[in-house]
A and B are shown apart, each in its own frame.
Chain A
Amino acid sequence: MEKKVRVLIAKPGLDGHDRGAKVVAQALRDAGMEVIYTGLHQTIDQIINTAIQEGVDVIGLSIMSGAHLPICEKLMKKMEEKKIDDISVIVGGVIPKRDIPILQRMGIHGIFPGGTPFSELIRWIQEHIKPRP
């Protein structure tokens, strides 16, 4: 059987708006991926630990409060410290266009602002993320 991509959908920080996270979780599951949802109010450490324990291929952060820059910066730094280089990080939520290059420079692999069609997100993951053997 072909191995499925494993995705961790994570809600970092204090923001509790999880409609988008839950909708994306369902869409990715329907597209044949294995999806784990962290629930709300997760610290960066909790997210990284869950990602390692669950052996995911990609972490999808959902951030609606506008704090995506400080949150992503912290997460990427922590991942570097822990020398984790086999998990991709993507981010969705309320992300203004001007912040996209900044996030890319931090090493965020894919950026999907609110309103991105499921098909586009699914295609991107299928093309860029390969399940670990």
Chain B
Amino acid sequence: MGVAKYIKNERDEVEDVILQSGIHVKPLYTARDLEEVGFDPEKDLALPGMYPYTRGIHPLGYRSRQWTTRQYTGFGTPKETNERFKLMISHGQTGLNVAFDLPTQMGLDSDDPLAEGEVGRVGMAVDTLRDFEIAFEGIPLDRIGVGLTINAVASIILAMFQVTAENFGYSKDRISATPQNDILKEMIGRGAWIFPVKPAVRLIGDTIEYAMKELPRSNPVSVCGYHIRESGCSPVQEIAYAFQIANTYIEEVLHRGYHVDDFVRGFTFNLNVFGNLWEQVAKFRAARKLWAINLKERYGAKESRSLLLRGIFGGGGYGMTKAQPENNIIRGAYYALAAALGGAQTTALCSFDEAYTIPTPRAALLSLRTFQILMEEIGLRDTVDPLAGSYFIETLTKQMEEKILEEMKRIDEMGGMIKAVETGYVQREVARQAYEFEKGVQKGELIKVGVNKYTEGEEMEVELHEYRQESAEEQIKRLQEVKRERDNRKVGQLLRELEKAARQEKNVMPYLLECCKAYATVGEMTKVFKEVYGEFKEPSIF
């Protein structure tokens, strides 16, 4: 594992292909391969919309419903972000996926000294409800589902989103929010963690429990194999780790006395699309099947909607290159094809300029057009799971399945994902593979066009998004205004109530809603949690 390899002889014939997941691809597949892997069309496939859902979760696939398109969007102030949301929607985008800046992701207010230089840089800055009121002004929140890419403080942001929607007249049972809310993957890959593992997982449990009762159309957690893959793991580990993370969250809620059918329908997944096309398609098909089996056999789920792996398949960031950036437009089209052939419910693509900085509007629109061309021009809506029955794809799907189960078992034997993260096992495994991958690319074992083959020397110039320092200043000014205008005594009292609830291990969501309504800041609410829970310490992995 590590990097995909192509072994060639001196005549440039391909003698062996080893996928990133370690599976050897044969030059020819026949019915015999299906026999060898024990493929049973009734048991392994059934029909789309039927258990085990290998072929898709809807009987008619994209005929009945196109995928939702949700480019990751947000920068500068809420006003600038609101304008970009509206631009994307006016061009046919059907959902939103909000990018928050690093201070917001880390629970710091824009005027915190640690936030300096980062306010509004990689996403939108959010301090109080006032910011959300500006960001979502004029967005039909009963029609447009909103992904909130936030993890450590997802509970706070989900509460803030609900209050915003209600203030705009959308009742909570009509809105669809998908906070990312996956802290274990932050500890493995993306790094935006704050609290220690156990209380951080408990906060996720609070949001799931709350959404189960109060937000019937929302998906309180989006488990991200995506970022673990971005950090270096193989496609097999991407799924295995994501499932074991999801199992951890399931168990957190089961401990509270619920049945898995009560809440697991709110789980979604965020999975990656770069790399070998066939391997990704087989990965998605195998994942759908294993998730259904996992729910049924491990947790005794009875309802069919509990068994469905729904997800955003997209991004592809690590496949994109800084060299010859326009090549990323082509790569993105193939990655989106993998998502469509894999049966994604929702999609998004990293834009071609994202190896440099966050996308310009032109680059973001190109990603959107990529999806529209696939679905509306070249025939990806025609028929459901078009690769089913292929000797190669079905064999590979079975092989991926087996490897994913092996990897899941490894985590089980370790005592589960919390242990595997606290000890640094997964982080070490991911870092090791990232290094192997990089060495493979630098040795030319894996071709990256424009990077290690067909290079052009001088870097080409692309138009880049410009960071505006003035946006940060405007943001801080608004925060100070809000703090002057709000009822500070009431805020202080509500924060003390939040602290009490956190200490007593009550579900904190109702308390967060009250704090948000009173314009408490993200930083103030996070500070309360830090005092009660403490902070995560990274295990040393070297």
Contact = CB atoms under 8 A, between A and B. Distances in A.
Contacts of B189: 19
B426 interface: no
Contacts of B464: 96
A115 B322 contact: yes
A60 to B, nearest CB: 14
B102 A15 contact: yes
Interface in B97-127: 102-103, 105-106, 108, 114-118, 121-122
A106 interface: no
Interface stretch (A35-43, A50-58, A77-85, A124-132): A35-43
Interface string A1-41: 00000000001011111110011011101000001010111
A14 B105 contact: yes
Interface in A54-75: 65-67, 69-71
A40 B321 contact: no
A14 B189 CA distance: 14
24 contacts: A13-B102, A16-B191, A16-B192, A17-B190, A18-B231, A19-B189, A19-B231, A19-B434, A22-B435, A23-B431, A26-B432, A27-B439, A39-B538, A43-B114, A65-B118, A66-B122, A66-B358, A66-B467, A69-B117, A70-B117, A113-B322, A114-B322, A117-B442, A118-B438
Interface in B176-201: 186, 189-193
Nearest to B442: A117
B355 A94 contact: yes
Q: How large is the interface on B (under 10, 10 to 19, 20 to 34, 35 or more residues)?
A: 35 or more
A57 B442 CA distance: 27
B106 A66 contact: no
A99 B360 CA distance: 19
B459 interface: yes
Interface of A: 11, 13-19, 22-23, 25-27, 29, 35, 37, 39-41, 43, 65-67, 69-71, 94, 96-97, 113-115, 117-119
Nearest to A9: B542
A15 B191 contact: yes
Contacts of A97: 459
The 6 closest A-B pairs by CB, nearest first: A16-B191, A70-B117, A14-B102, A22-B431, A26-B435, A67-B117
A66 B122 CA distance: 8
Contacts of B23: none
A98 B467 CA distance: 14
A130 B322 CA distance: 31
A66 B117 CA distance: 9
A117 B442 CA distance: 7
Nearest to B469: A70
Q: Is the interface of A mostly helix, strand, loop or mixed?
A: loop
A65 B232 contact: no
Contact of B193 (A16, A65, A71): A16
Given A26-B435, A66-B357, 9 more contacts: A17-B191, A19-B232, A22-B541, A39-B538, A39-B540, A70-B117, A94-B356, A115-B321, A119-B442
Nearest to B191: A16
Contacts of B356: 94, 96
Given A15-B102, A40-B538, A67 B118 contact: yes
A66 B538 contact: no
A4 to B, nearest CB: 15
A40 B116 CA distance: 17
A41 B192 CA distance: 9
Nearest to A118: B442
A66 B322 CA distance: 14
A37 B357 contact: no
A14 B323 contact: no
B322 A18 contact: no
Interface string B320-361: 011100000000000000000000000000000001111000
A94 B435 CA distance: 18
A40 to B, nearest CB: 5
Given A13-B118, A97-B459, A117-B442, A18 B191 contact: yes
Contacts of B355: 94, 114
Contacts of A119: 442
Nearest to B452: A117
A18 B191 CA distance: 7
